[in-house]
């Protein structure tokens, strides 16, 4: 077994760099969502719009967008506890969706589309 402390500093740095090359890799954006995922986002948007929480929800989602992966990990961690109040399948589906960086922007777009007045014209 090779020791971590054997070899030159350049070799150690190259090994460390090779080991961490894909440590923070994420899926590429703009991949199509599954039908079930789109339906879940539509239901979430409907609830937000029906409760007239469009502006606060949009502001919250835009401000927390960069931390969506941390929220995903928290949901994975809290799934056994959330099982008492929510459907486990949907909690896991939301957690899986939050792993994607573009999900928050897609949800914001759906909310804004649903909250726009019918027949509104952009000025």
The CA distance from 102 to 97, in Å, is 9
Please report which confidence band the pLDDT of residue 58 belongs to, taking 50, 70 and 90 as the band edges. very high
The CA distance from 63 to 49, in Å, is 19
Average pLDDT, the chain: 83
Name which of 49, 66, 67, 70 is nearest 58 in CA terms.
49
Model confidence over 27-57: pLDDT tens digits? Answer: 565 678 889 999 999 999 999 999 999 999 9
Model confidence over 20-29: pLDDT tens digits? Answer: 776 666 556 5
SS (H, E, C) the chain: CCCCCCCCHHHHHHHHHHHHCCCCCCCCCCCCCCHHHHHHHHHHHHHHHHCCCHHHHHHHHHHHHHHHHHHHHHHHHHHHHHCCCCCHHHHHHHHHHHCCCCHHHHHHHHHHHHHCCCCCCCC
Residue that has been written with the tokens 């339906």 in this structure: 39
CB 38 within 8 A of CB 106: no
The pLDDT assigned to 100 comes to 86
């Amino acid at each position: 077994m090779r020791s971590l402390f054997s070899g030159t500093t350049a070799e150690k740095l190259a090994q460390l760099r090779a080991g961490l090359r894909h440590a923070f890799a994420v899926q590429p954006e703009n991949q199509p969502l599954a039908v079930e995922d789109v339906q879940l986002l539509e239901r979430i948007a409907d609830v937000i719009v029906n409760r007239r929480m469009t502006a606060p929800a949009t502001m919250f989602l835009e401000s927390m967008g960069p931390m969506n992966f941390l929220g995903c990990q928290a949901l994975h961690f809290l799934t056994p506890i959330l099982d008492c109040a929510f459907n486990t399948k949907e909690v896991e589906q939301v957690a899986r969706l939050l792993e994607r960086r573009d999900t928050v922007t897609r949800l914001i777009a759906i909310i804004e589309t649903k909250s726009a007045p019918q027949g509104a014209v952009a000025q």
